[in-house]
Amino acid sequence: MREITLGHTPDADDAFMFYGIEAGKVKSPHFKIKHVIEDIETLNKHALNHELDVTAISAHAFAYLKDYTILRSGASFGFNYGPVVVSKKVLSLSQLKECTIAIPGKMTSANLLLNLVLGKFNEQEINFQLIPDAVLSDKVDAGLVIHETQITYYKSHLYKILDLGAWWHTETNGLPVPLGINVASIKSMTIEEIRRFNNLFKASILYGLKHTNAAVDYAMRYSRGQPKHVMTKFIKMYVNDITVDMGADGEKAIKKMFKMAQEKGILPLISQLNFA
């Protein structure tokens, strides 16, 4: 049995996807999994250094990687929703361009999307969990929030200034917005091993979707104090049919994001995107 290192985030949607494996309901005779749990920007950096066999990353981060292929299962896409820019006061888009904005990481997809909208702006990199407090304490003028804070920011009396998922939906005529993907190393794993792992991961996601209540209960360990109904809503936003298999729309959306970024001079030309 082959031991592989697997990176994923301490977030409820990732935990939900791995519930089938962790509960022992979905098994593989091929792999022994060593979990590495870190925030998404840390996982992006691990991937840059080629430290993990399989890992979740921001879709944006793939532009900087070599010798990885994109798994078809486990991706997070928004459907007319996504990361949100929030502030203590109502701001116009032109005012936002002059603000200092907290971002959850330079390689996050949220940051790339915001660059597509604003161009260059004054950014301050802050751990995603600390961004709302940074806005509330006036350390920054606005904050780019991801994960469940996308749907709970109003509880902190913050205003939504820009919904990047809605912006993307309009710009691309309804394509899903690519946020998180999973990649596997073609240096440390064979194509057959990568496909076997993708099938295992897919089976775990399907098990969670068929046993939603139990899978959400398991994922609540990463609820960060939010009630179950909030976490259930968040999980259902980002674990769905396109998570099981991104299909043609998922591939098209990732390619579209990179093309837009290349045309604006934000990213270098990417020779090819590999999908397992």
In one letter, which amino acid is 50? H
- Helices 247-263, 109-118: axis angle to 10 degrees equals 50
Q: Active site includes 169? A: no
Catalytic site residue from 60, 147, 169, 229: 147
Report the C-alpha gap between 38 and 53 in whole angstroms: 15
User: Contact at 8 Å (CB) between 7 and 46?
Assistant: yes
Token representation of residue 162: 């820009």
Report the C-alpha gap between 65 and 174 in whole angstroms: 28
Burial of 149 (0-12, 13-18, 19+ CB in 10 A): buried
Report the C-alpha gap between 158 and 235 in whole angstroms: 22
Q: CA-based angle 220:195:28, to the nearest 5?
A: 60
Catalytic residues: 147
